[in-house]
Structure 1
Amino acid sequence: MIVVRSRAWWRATLALCLGSLLVFLNLYVPQPLLPLMREAYGISTLVASLAMSVSTLSLAAALLVFGPLSDAIGRAGIMRLTLLLAGLLSVVLACVAALAPNFELLLVLRAVQGFVLGGLPAVAIAWMGDEFEKPALLSAVGLYIGANTLGGIGGRVIGGTVAEVGGISASFLTVGCLTLVGVVVFWRLLPPARCFQARRFRLREARAGLAAHLRNPMLVGAYLLGGLNFLIFINQYSYITFRLAQPPFELGEKWLGLLFLTYLSGTFGSALSGRLSRSLSQPACMAFGILLLMLGTAVTLADRLPLILAGLTVNAFGFFLAHSMASSWVGRHAEQDRGSASALYLVFYYTGASLGGFWLEPFWWLGEWMGVVLGSWLVLAGTFAIACWLRRGERRRAAVNEPARAGGAVQGGVLASASSPQISSRRSERPQADL
């Protein structure tokens, strides 16, 4: 097993962080390009947003495929192959955008790319779980999640900056070339697996585990909360690019890409979530994050760019606070198969992202950004209600478990203080009764 801060730990952690960065670099590169795509292809805002939606939806589907598949055939090969294919597909997308400007073909390629991009997120933490000791795993996961954020920011910033100079095809080509170079480094850095043990995939057991999670209301609440929050958060960024590309702002692709630097506040939100949870319950932290998301959304109604940026910054902080609490809630309340429970959370999470355009588009047509804000508040009111419901459920469970714990403590005290030979003999005959 790899120990924390050893040479192998640094190599593996750096490789997986690089892989995570490359995944989200490719996934989010089109987001600042949506207004440019709308103009270049003569399509609506909804159709343009499909460049993001189809890839996140196919990524969600891939999580259910690559995770179980890696248990049978290994994880490192899946990560290497899917990253290589993702880079090649970005190069192909660049060629399609430049030589055969067909938006339908671009969407098909983005769907395929989204699926292969799901290979690394589906198995990276499982690879760490196989190879790392527990302290090494905990340290590496934090860095890995940080790389997710940096990849998302980098993809948008690079995409917007390059597109302003060379157009859509140049953005895809740049990210594709960076990915292919990164894959070579990833391939060399990732140590060979030492502790992996192949397991035969059993579809019936996998389906039974997923069905059990979906029957657990504490998990389903967190799944819905995470998915619906992401539905609003990620798609607000898509529609804000349409707003800011229009008068009176008229921002170019470069500046639209830089909008996503507001994501950095989400890193602080995730980091502070652990400290905040010491004084507040997890559902209370989720509710607080959602209230911040609603507040930030209200601030974006301002007609001054600095206030809009402030609102987006508050949004990112609140969203990632709620997201980190919801994902850790799943780990705590899964009664079995925690890995598949967490994977199911990500399925809801990315499915929500892919459906947000269909929800917000009618509001955009009715009232542009004011309509998007209204549509956002309606969903966020629902997720706030879910957080309150989870809090009530947590209190009910605590009330039910408290008498049992108290009774166990009293019984344990009686047994510990008992000194009669009869009790001693009863202990020696049935030791499991004291457990």
Structure 2
Amino acid sequence: METIGTIKRGTGAFWRAGGAVFAGSFITFANLYCTQPLLPVFSHQFHVTPTVSSLTLSVSSAVLAVCMLLAAALSERLGRRRIMILSVFVSSLVVILTAFSPNFTTLIILRLAEGVVLAGLPSLAMAYVSEEFDPGSLGVAMGLYVSGTTVGGMFGRIAAGMLTDIFSWRYALAVIGIVSLLCSVYFWLALPASTHFHGHSFSLKETIRSFGHHLKSPVLFSVFGIGFLLMGSFVSLYNYIGYLLTGAPYRLSQTAFGWIFTVYIMGTISSVWMGKLADRFGRTKVLGIGMIIMLTGGLLTLAPSLVVIVIGAAVFTFGFFGSHSVASSLVGRLAKSDRAQASSLYLLFYYAGSSLVGSINGVSWSLYRWHGVILMIGSAILLSMLLELLIIRFMKGHVD
């Protein structure tokens, strides 16, 4: 039987561990998404279409999704902490190398490598939180992890936009990599050792059995599907809103467009707040509310007013990060064993959605512009709501 975490909210140990988890997710998402506001720049400089330019993000997400499965398996032998520390340090160095890409092909190869090394943190951090934190504090702890992703993603995108306008995209990526490297030192020093982790030797057969067990669970598979659809929707919105706002009639500069990512602050607020609500009122109820908020925000971006578009993006972001925070904690609660594998499967679907849906929507943009993108996003959210109804049905009679 797995032991229950003892790090409780309100203690010094909670804020130390929570701060380290926040820093780790900050590094991961700053490094992963720093190229997103640069997609129009890459299209112009390397003479590629929006769909091809989006590969700078999609290849990282795709390989990250696959490699997380290996990272989760290796962590059972090598430990969570060691792999997470290696991940944040090496990924920061790769971002710095990316700044020196001589052509688009090299850029794609380095972004692929970025996905490989980043894989060592996300699924393991979720497993670490599930193992080390008290169940009554799990929602807030996962909220801290998700809020780190919002702040990191916001920093990477805003810094990339501003520094590209002032200097160049190469300078921007180099600075982001250096900041991430400094944060990696803090992560290494602050992250407590695992005290409730009990590893075992790596077995491919046992790993496949564990993955198969989780995939056969209707309720877990539905949560995985929600992660796929919601993340795909979120990345799609921010992949192509840059083309909308830097083109006619808005014609925002890279700096002005970069500041739109300040709406990620809404995600920081919602991930912690909705995590608390989930601990109090139940995860499935709060998850449904989050998806309704997402859909409302997406529809608002169809307005011709720049102010309303930004408000819509903020509402959409609030709903997404709140939903992701709740879904993440739901995985940790539902998986009674092999939590690292369950978390990595959730994130496999999550980042697969980022890669596949994010790129496919490039076709929607090319054919029908912004209305086509929002149509695809709205359809994905509605399908997620259907999966949530299945979760409620499967969990009837159980505490969520």
TM-score over 0.5 for the alignment? yes
Cα offset, 1:355, TM superposition: 0.7
2:296 aligns to what? 295
Q: Distance in 2 between matches of 1:139 and 1:301?
A: 33
8 A Cα contact 2:90 2:117, kept in partner: yes
Give, in whole Å, the separation in 2 of the partners of 1:199 and 1:288. 39
Corresponding residue for residue 47 of structure 1: 52
Matched, 1:28 2:55: no
Quote the Cα distance in structure 2 between the aligned partners of 1:241 and 1:384: 27
2:94 paired with 1:89: yes
Identity of aligned residues (%): 34
Deviation of the 1:32 alpha carbon: 0.9
Is 1:284–1:388's contact at 8 Å kept on the other side of the alignment? no
CA deviation map 1:161-215 (0-9, x unaligned): 1111112101111111112223333334445667765421122122111111111
Corresponding residue number in structure 2 for 1:363 = 364
Counterparts of residues 187-336 of structure 1 (less than 5 Å): 187-190=188-191, 198-274=199-275, 276-277=277-278, 282-334=283-335, 336=337
Contact map agreement 1:54 1:110 (CA 8 A) in 2: yes
What amino acid is the match of 1:62? C
Q: Give 1:137 deviation, angstroms.
A: 7.2
Tell me if the contact between 1:24 and 1:152 (Cα under 8 Å) persists in the aligned partners. yes
Mean alpha-carbon deviation: is it higher for 26-35 or for 267-276?
A: 267-276
SS in 1 for 2:309: helix
Is it true that 1:383 corresponds to 2:384 in the alignment? yes
RMSD: 2.8
Alignment of 1:386-405 (within 5 A): 386-394=387-395, 397-398=396-397
Flag the structure with more relative contact order, 1 or 2, with Cα contacts below 8 A and sequence separation at least 6: 2
1:361 is displaced (CA, Å) by 2.0
CA spacing shift, 1:130–1:277, aligned 2, 3 Å: closer
Aligned in 2, Cα 1:304/1:320: closer, same or farther, shift over 3 Å?
A: same
Question: Could you tell me whether the CA contact under 8 Å between 1:54 and 1:114 is conserved in 2?
Answer: yes
Alignment of 1:38-117 (within 5 A): 38-96=43-101, 100=102, 102-117=103-118
Contact 1:259 1:309 in 2 (8 A): yes
Q: Which amino acid aligns with 1:82?
A: S
Shift of 1:131: 6.2
Write the letter of the residue equivalent to 1:384. M
What SS class does the counterpart of residue 119 from structure 1 fall into?
Answer: coil
| Cα distance between partner residues in 2 of 1:268 and 1:88 | 30
Match of 2:182 in 1: 181
Does residue 167 of the first structure (1) align with residue 168 of the second (2)? yes
Assess if the C-alpha contact under 8 Å between 2:142 and 2:275 holds in 1: no
- Structure-1 separation of matches of 2:367 and 2:264: 28
Q: Give the distance between the partners of 1:15 and 1:285, measured in 2 at CA.
A: 26
Q: For 2:265, what is the secondary structure of its paired residue?
A: helix
Cα gap change, 1:370/1:192 in structure 2, threshold over 3 Å: closer, same or farther? Answer: closer
**Equivalent in the alignment of 2:344:** 343
Are the aligned partners of 1:266 and 1:321 in contact in 2 as well (CA < 8 Å)?
yes
Q: Relative to structure 1, is the Cα distance of residues 381 and 51 closer, same or farther in structure 2, using a 3 angstrom cutoff? A: same
Q: Answer yes or no: is the 8 Å Cα contact 1:59–1:350 preserved in 2.
A: yes
CA contact (8 A) 1:284 1:387 kept: no
Contact 1:265 1:317 in 2 (8 A): yes
- In structure 2, relative to structure 1, the CA distance for the partners of 1:227 and 1:129 (3 Å cut) is closer
| Letter of the 1:66 counterpart | A
Once residues 188 and 391 of structure 1 are traced to their aligned partners in structure 2, the CA distance between those partners, rounded to angstroms, is 41
- Greater displacement, 358-367 / 170-179: 358-367
Measure, in 2, the Cα distance between the counterparts of 1:3 and 1:158.
34
TM-score (norm 1): 0.82
The superposition leaves residues 349-396 of structure 1 with CA deviations (integer Å, 9 ceiling, x where unpaired) of 1110011233212221221111111222222222222223333444xx
Report the count of equivalent residues: 394
Check conservation: 2:218, 2:394, Cα contact below 8 A: no
Partners of 2:379 and 2:130 in 1: CA distance? 39
User: Hey, what's the Cα distance between the residues in 2 that align with 1:136 and 1:389?
Assistant: 26
* C-alpha displacement of 1:125: 4.5
CA distance in 1, matches of 2:296, 2:130: 38
Alpha-carbon contact 2:140-2:272 (below 8 Å) kept:
no
d(CA) in 2 for partners of 1:384 and 1:305?
29
Query: Contact 1:33/1:159 (CA < 8 Å) preserved in 2?
Result: yes
Please, which moves more after superposition, 371-380 or 21-30?
371-380
Give unmatched runs, 5+ long, in structure 1.
403-435
Aligned to 2:374: 373
| CA gap 1:267/1:88 in 2 versus in 1, 3 angstroms | closer
- CA offset at residue 21 of structure 1? 1.4
Q: Supply the distance in 1 between the matched residues of 2:194 and 2:281 (Cα, whole angstroms).
A: 40
Q: Alignment partner of 2:202: what SS?
A: coil
How many angstroms does 1:111 deviate by? 0.9
2 CA distance for matches of 1:263 and 1:60? 23
Conservation of the 8 A alpha-carbon contact between 1:2 and 1:9: no
Task: Give 1:259 deviation, angstroms.
Answer: 1.1
Tell me the residue number matched to 1:426: none
Q: Which amino acid aligns with 2:50?
A: T
* Distance in 2 of aligned mates of 1:292 and 1:40: 37
CA distance in 2, matches of 1:148, 1:160: 18
Return the alpha-carbon distance in structure 2 between the equivalents of residues 335 and 289 of structure 1. 25
- Which structure is larger by alpha-carbon Rg, 1 or 2? 1
Equivalent positions of 1:150-161 (< 5 A) are 150-161=151-162
CA distance in 2, matches of 1:381, 1:191: 40
